[in-house]
Amino acid sequence: MTTLLDELAALEQEALSALESVTDLAALTEWKSRFIGKQGRLSRLSRGLGALPAEERPVAGQRVNALREQLETVFTAAKERLEAQAIAAELAADRIDVTMPGRQPAVGYIHLTNQILRQVQQIFAEMGFQVWESPEVEYDAFNFSLLNFPDDHPARDMQDTFYVEMPAGAPSVLLRTHTSPGQIHAMRRNAPNPLRVLIPGKVYRNEQVTVRSEMMFHQFEFLAVGRHVTMADLKGTLSFFAERMFGPGTQVRLRPSFFPFTEPSAEMDVTCFLCGGKGCRICKYAGWLEIGGCGMVHPNVLRNGGYDPAEFSGFAGGFGPERVAMLKYGIDDIRWFYSGDQRFVEQFG
């Protein structure tokens, strides 16, 4: 007849044997529940102590307690061993090889407009031009009157220009429609000394937003004033700029035009850098691309800037970096520049 001591001995052998095959913490938890848990085999056997004769209970009780202590000890040891193995495996999986090259962090991209402006500044710096910062909020006089714009010029209308609400009797203030007001600021600061300045920045016009026009965009203005400055100096400056910006061999042509602040005035074209002047879709098969306007500084503007036009002359011009970028990279919609679409910016990173 099997006694309680026999069952305890069999349980001990079975439990220790089962523990040898446990390889992870989940299996160990199951082993504990099976053998020494509240509803485990040992707990169920210990409930039979009350049915034993009084003289057998002390020995059987001691055996139950000894077995429970033994199994809990081996359980604790197995748990510590398996936890250490799990940590070691996790560390091995996440191990960092410090000899491998690191991942380059994503630190953003320079916007295409700023890339073009930096190229422009570098090119003009090589010709002795200094960057001149000019305010975006201007007096009407600096934006129009001092630049030889007549009082009835259409650009002065509210539908063309963003005016700032001012108290009654205060001077008229607006968001500059071009970077040309910087010419007056620069000349008045430097007159009667010669100067060469490049004036980049944002400009604002009350225009309908389309694929070709925005109500906020950028310009860069260049101005040179000195004695004996001629149209030949202007064309030489433009030729150097065109070759550096669009590639060696790029030619420049000037077409007669009109601007209030220059006389004579011209539109600047460059040979299409995509087809080499042979004609393609980008240049509309003309072989030339229009870049911007330029000319000799009008005597009235020189005088308003503090220079005597009988002694001094100068040339000036203004281009749009977005226009340059659109031609250079075949971008067909100016709205992409300020869409906030990261995919557009990353193409030129």
Binding residues: 263
Residue 139, beta-bridge partner list: 173
Backbone angles phi, psi at 137, to 5 degrees: -100, 120
Q: Are 171 and 140 in contact (CB under 8 A)?
A: yes
Residue 156 amino acid letter: R
What are the b/e assignments for 325-342, b being 16+ CB within 10 Å? bbbbeebeebebbeeeee
CA distance 313 to 194: 10
Contact 324, 279 (CB under 8 A): no
Residue 171: what are its φ and ψ, rounded to 5°? Answer: -60, 150
Known binding-site residues for Mg(2+) equal 263
* DSSP symbols for 114-134: HHHHHHHHHHHHHTT-EE---
**C-alpha–C-alpha distance, residues 263 and 140, integer Å:** 22
Cβ–Cβ under 8 Å, residues 5 and 61:
no
CB 289 within 8 A of CB 282: yes
